[in-house]
């Protein structure tokens, strides 16, 4: 399975995917990593592995993902032979035309047990709500925010002495296990 990764941050989930590929537990190859942030560490991680990288030009918008940028992104992903797009800390809402270019072929990992706590900083939402557990979800991307069909989930307990940072760190450990497993499950269905 040829993967394309879109990310805005450090790329720890991409690293988990690479680790799974290296160990042989995921039969895939990352062909292209794109970011909307020129200084995102995900780009450095990819370059160190010899993976092609590029920037997404969002036309100066801080959070919006303009149609022109989505079209350009789709063209770059297609040119790289990407079969499955994985969002790894990509902080923009994907819509058409990118969804049309990769129907049911865009995955996202979210740090909660969806449908609970969609959106940003969901671990803080979970703490504020006082829930006994939260977790992470890998889902197909659709037009909504964190609303697509669920592929896999993993629960993480909320401990009495948890801070936002400690809870987020434990959720990320679960994400690093879950994302490669979900990609393998989706790939098996192609």
* Catalytic residue positions, numbered: 110
**78: part of which helix (H) or strand (E)?**
helix 67-79
Interior angle at CA 128, CA 124 and CA 130, nearest 5: 120
Of the CA atoms within 13 Å of residue 171, those in its CB half-sphere come to 27
Q: Is 123 exposed, middle or buried (0-12, 13-18, 19+ CB in 10 A)?
A: buried
Cis before residue 15, ω within 30 degrees of 0? no
Report the interhelical angle of 12-23 vs 41-48 (nearest 10°): 20
C-alpha distance from residue 131 to each of 109, 185, 189 (Å) = 20, 29, 34
C-alpha distance from residue 22 to each of 19, 173, 181 (Å) = 5, 18, 14
């Amino acid at each position: 399975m040829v993967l394309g990764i879109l990310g805005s941050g450090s790329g720890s989930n991409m690293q988990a995917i690479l680790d799974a590929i290296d160990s042989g537990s995921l039969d895939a190859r990352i062909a292209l990593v794109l970011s909307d942030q020129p200084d995102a560490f995900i780009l450095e991680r990819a370059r160190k592995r010899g993976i092609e990288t590029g920037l997404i030009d969002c036309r100066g918008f801080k959070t919006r993902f303009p149609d022109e940028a989505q079209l350009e992104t789709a063209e770059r992903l297609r040119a790289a032979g990407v079969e499955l797009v994985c969002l790894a800390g990509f902080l923009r809402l994907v819509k058409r035309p990118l969804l049309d270019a990769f129907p049911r072929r865009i995955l996202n990992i979210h740090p909660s047990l969806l449908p609970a706590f969609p959106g940003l900083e969901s671990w803080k939402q979970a703490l504020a709500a006082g829930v006994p557990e939260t977790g992470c979800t890998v889902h197909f991307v659709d037009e909504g925010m964190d609303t697509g069909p669920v592929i896999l989930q993993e629960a993480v307990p909320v401990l009495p002495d948890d801070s936002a940072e400690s809870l987020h760190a434990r959720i990320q450990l679960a994400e690093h296990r879950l994302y490669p497993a979900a990609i393998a499950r989706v790939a098996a269905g192609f």
